[in-house]
């Protein structure tokens, strides 16, 4: 498995049977500047969305149109994307699992919100925010927490899915900050590796992963602070 962080909460995951994008916020993503959108979206087969905010839906519509990728999202968000011209949609909701060739995706809870300011200038609710657990046939299980605070039912997510790799939001203000994110990882999970995300993109969130790294010191979990656009192999 190859994992590439694309800045903010966006990741590319490559396995033998699929090339997956999660929350592909690329255009207007300051962390992604200087990267090649065509390159990171090449051969994409699936796009997975945690929730409906613009900094997570991002370039989904354009990428889906250009690549023919299947888009997975909560039912309300999927319906809305259908009105934007996305043709291959897999809707689901919290607790549900969707099966693909080589992997499954389960929607988990997340403590956040989900909406878009649309063309009419009105904020439209787009379903519940989610985390996503990816179980692969021959690769470690990955948990993208989405945008969230800590919550005690994370213990159930670990019990049900036993994820080995975590994508963890740490930027504060809109998600948990670094110290709380570290508490979540150490109290509720037994991750082998965590990749912090959702920081450094906007001036009002934390600009680096230092608080998270410091709070994770002494943990058996490996913290990988990867550079945007650099491939991490598992």
Confidence of residue 130 (pLDDT cuts 50, 70, 90): very high
Among the listed ranges 67-81, 117-131, 141-155, which one has the minimum average pLDDT value?
117-131
At residue 160, φ and ψ (nearest 5 deg) are -75, -35
- Looking at residues 149-175, what average pLDDT do you find? 98
Q: Is 51 a member of any domain?
A: yes
Domain count, the chain: 1
119 pLDDT above the threshold of 90: no
Q: What is the band of 124 on the pLDDT scale with cuts at 50, 70, 90?
A: confident
84 in a structural domain: yes
Crossing angle of helices 178-188/154-161, nearest 10°?
50
Alpha helices for the chain (secondary structure H):
37-40, 54-57, 60-67, 75-83, 154-161, 178-188, 210-215
Cβ within 8 Å of residue 58, ≥6 positions away = 10, 23, 24, 25, 26, 27, 29
pLDDT at 155 over 80: yes
The CATH number of the domain where 71 resides is what?
3.60.15.10
pLDDT digits (tens, 9 = 90+) for 17-64: 999 999 999 999 999 999 999 999 999 999 999 999 999 999 999 999
* CA-CA-CA-CA torsion sign (113, 116, 121, 125): negative
CA distance 232 to 234: 7
Indicate whether 191 belongs to any domain: yes
- 3-class SS string, 185-200: HHHHCCCCEEEEECCC
Rg of the chain over all Cα atoms, to the nearest angstrom: 16
Residue 118 binned pLDDT confidence (cut-offs 50, 70, 90): confident
> Does 28 reside within a domain?
yes
> With contact defined as beta carbons under 8 Å apart, do 127 and 6 qualify?
no
117 in a domain, yes or no? Answer: yes
User: Can you give the pLDDT at residue 170?
Assistant: 98
Question: pLDDT at residue 220 above 90?
Answer: yes
- Supply the pLDDT for residue 160: 98
pLDDT for res 37: 95
Q: Which pair of tokens denotes residue 31?
A: 């962390």
Q: Which two tokens stand for residue 13?
A: 């995951």
Residue 120: predicted pLDDT: 78
Assess if residue 232 is contained within a domain.
no
Identify whether 231 is part of a domain: no
Kindly tell me if the per-residue pLDDT of 122 is higher than 90.
no
What's the mean pLDDT in 71-91? 97
Q: Which domain holds residue 212?
A: 2-226
93 domain-assigned: yes
Mean pLDDT of the region 179-205: 98
């Amino acid at each position: 498995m190859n994992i590439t962080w694309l800045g903010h909460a966006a990741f590319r995951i490559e396995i033998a049977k699929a090339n997956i994008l999660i929350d592909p916020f690329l255009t207007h993503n300051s962390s992604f500047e200087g990267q090649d959108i065509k390159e990171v979206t090449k051969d994409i087969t699936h796009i997975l969305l945690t929730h409906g905010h613009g900094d997570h839906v991002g370039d989904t519509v354009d990428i889906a149109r250009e690549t023919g990728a299947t888009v997975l999202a909560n039912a309300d968000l999927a319906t809305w994307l259908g009105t934007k011209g996305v043709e291959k949609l897999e809707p689901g909701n919290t607790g549900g699992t969707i099966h693909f060739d080589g992997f499954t995706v389960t929607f988990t809870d997340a403590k956040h919100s989900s909406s878009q300011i649309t063309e009419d200038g009105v904020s439209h609710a787009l379903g519940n925010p989610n985390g996503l657990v990816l179980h692969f046939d021959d690769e470690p299980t990955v948990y993208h927490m989405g945008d969230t605070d800590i919550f005690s039912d994370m213990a159930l997510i670990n019990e049900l899915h036993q994820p080995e790799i975590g994508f963890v939001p740490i930027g504060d203000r809109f998600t948990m900050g670094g110290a709380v994110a570290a508490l979540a990882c150490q109290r509720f999970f037994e991750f082998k590796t965590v990749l912090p995300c959702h920081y450094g993109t906007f001036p009002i969130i934390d600009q680096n992963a230092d608080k998270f790294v410091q709070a994770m010191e002494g943990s058996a979990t490996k913290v990988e602070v990867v550079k945007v656009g650099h491939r991490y192999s598992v």
